[in-house]
Amino acid sequence: MVSRTRQFTGAVWDIDSDVVDLGDEVTVTRDYVLHTGAVAIMALNDRNELYLVKQYRHPVRMECWEPPAGLMDMPGEEALGTAQRELWEEADLTARQWDVLVDSYTSPGGSTESIRIFLARDVAEVPASERHQREAEEAQMTGAWIPVAEVVDAVLTGRVHSPPLVMGALALDVALRNDFSTLRPVDAPWDRPPTRDL
């Protein structure tokens, strides 16, 4: 890298512009989103149903079915802690068993965002008196338990588009077909690119 310029500082992410030396006297300029990283949770019950939320996503101008998910924007919070918090906040659920399902760069040509998708099992509802009070667009989220087979079909027929849901549903389908042998421990290495400073 030859140089870096901060082009934009936002509430959720920043945009940097880097001049990169590719060798052979070739340099290029690359603009990209500097992201905090994120987690998503495929919460699976004993009926092989996933808990999904429907949330309005303004850039695409539609409500999207997604797994509970969130940014790693709390200083010092590890990925598992973020996942546990987001499952509580967005789904009113807790889970006793956690595994890593899949890791991904969501858009490596334009963003440093890396997402770790967890599988949460042995789930329980949070008592009404202990539930998180959702605000802003999260206040209008709805949720539902949907059979894994229906979710996979919705992915493959193009009826859902959220990257964490697409990746998570397909990885879960493979895990189920292989008696969960594809799962990794929650502290498995995670090859994350640089993240936004908190």
Domain residues of the chain, as ranges?
Answer: 3-33, 37-177
Residue 21 and residue 1: Cα distance in Å, rounded? 6
Residue 191 and residue 159: Cα distance in Å, rounded? 30
User: 37-177 sits in which CATH class?
Assistant: alpha beta
What integer pLDDT is reported at residue 196 of this predicted model? 86
What integer pLDDT is reported at residue 166 of this predicted model? 98
Asked if residue 167 lies in contact with residue 104, where contact means CB atoms within 8 angstroms, the answer is yes
- Give pLDDT tens digits for 28-78: 999 999 999 999 999 999 999 999 999 988 889 999 999 999 999 998 899
What integer pLDDT is reported at residue 40 of this predicted model? 98
What integer pLDDT is reported at residue 138 of this predicted model? 72
- Give pLDDT tens digits for 49-60: 999 999 988 889
Active centre residues (catalytic): 138
> Token pair of 95, please?
């889970």
Distances in whole angstroms, Cα of residue 102 to Cα of each of 42, 50, 195, 196:
11, 16, 19, 22
What integer pLDDT is reported at residue 12 of this predicted model? 86
pTM here is: 0.92
Positions in the chain short of pLDDT 50: none
Nearest to 82 by CA among 92, 69, 93, 95: 69
163-177 vs 148-156: helix axis angle to the nearest 10?
130
Nearest to 116 by CA among 48, 186, 44: 186
What integer pLDDT is reported at residue 127 of this predicted model? 83
